[in-house]
């Protein structure tokens, strides 16, 4: 469910959870599937969803949208 995409000198680590997540709101197919299978899973929630390094700069994608919007001003 995770992969690394490589293009030229860039690497992108990604996984389907970044697209769908395991949240309690909205469409969450993984949560639904695990509930239907009655499988217990440990979910580790992170404040930072993603970090991108671009041209020597780091851009953090924070779960808190307001905090994320402030990121480019740093």
User: Would you list the domain boundaries of the chain?
Assistant: 1-43, 45-74
On whether the pTM is more than 0.85, the answer is: no
Q: What is the pLDDT of residues 28-70, one digit of tens each?
A: 777 777 788 887 877 777 777 778 877 888 888 887 888 888 8
Determine the pLDDT at residue 23.
66
**Cα-based distances in Å from 17 to 11, 22, 29:** 18, 7, 10
Please list, in sequence order, all residues whose beta carbon lies within 8 angstroms of the beta carbon of residue 61, skipping any fewer than 6 positions away: 48, 49, 50, 51, 52, 68, 71
Write phi, then psi, for 56 (nearest 5 degrees). Answer: 80, 0
């Amino acid at each position: 469910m995770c992969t690394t995409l490589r293009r030229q000198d860039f690497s992108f680590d990604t996984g389907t959870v970044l697209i769908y997540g395991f949240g309690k709101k909205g469409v969450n197919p993984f949560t639904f599937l695990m509930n239907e299978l009655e499988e217990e899973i440990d979910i580790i929630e992170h404040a930072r969803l993603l970090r991108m390094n671009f041209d020597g700069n780091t851009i953090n994608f924070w779960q808190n949208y307001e905090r994320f919007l402030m990121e480019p001003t740093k």
